[in-house]
């Protein structure tokens, strides 16, 4: 996950959009989102993964999980 923050989605973008790149396997980025209805966040990350030829799969994560993982 920390490699993904360093190389795919920046820490600042994760904080701003309340997202967390959870894993990357077989060109599929699994993205945790605090709000699955946040179209701005999906569009932002979607642009990034499209340019990298990845697919995107989202899943809900809690706000406390998001904060705890990013503070690590």
Put simply, whether the predicted model's pTM sits higher than 0.85 gets the answer yes
Distance of alpha carbon 70 from alpha carbon 50, whole angstroms = 24
What does the pLDDT average to over 37-48? 95
| pLDDT at 2 > cutoff 90 | no
| Residue 72 reports pLDDT greater than 90 | no
Which CATH superfamily, name and number, covers 2-71?
A: Type II secretion system, protein E, N-terminal domain (3.30.300.160)
Q: What is the pLDDT of residues 54-69, one digit of tens each?
A: 999 999 999 999 999 9
Average pLDDT, the chain: 94
């Amino acid at each position: 996950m920390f490699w993904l923050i360093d190389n795919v989605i920046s820490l600042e973008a994760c904080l701003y959009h309340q997202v967390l790149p959870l894993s990357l396997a077989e060109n599929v980025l699994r993205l945790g989102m605090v709000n699955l209805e946040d179209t701005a966040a999906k569009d932002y990350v979607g642009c990034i993964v499209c340019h990298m030829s990845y697919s995107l799969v989202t899943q809900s994560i809690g706000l406390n999980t998001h904060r705890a993982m990013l503070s690590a």
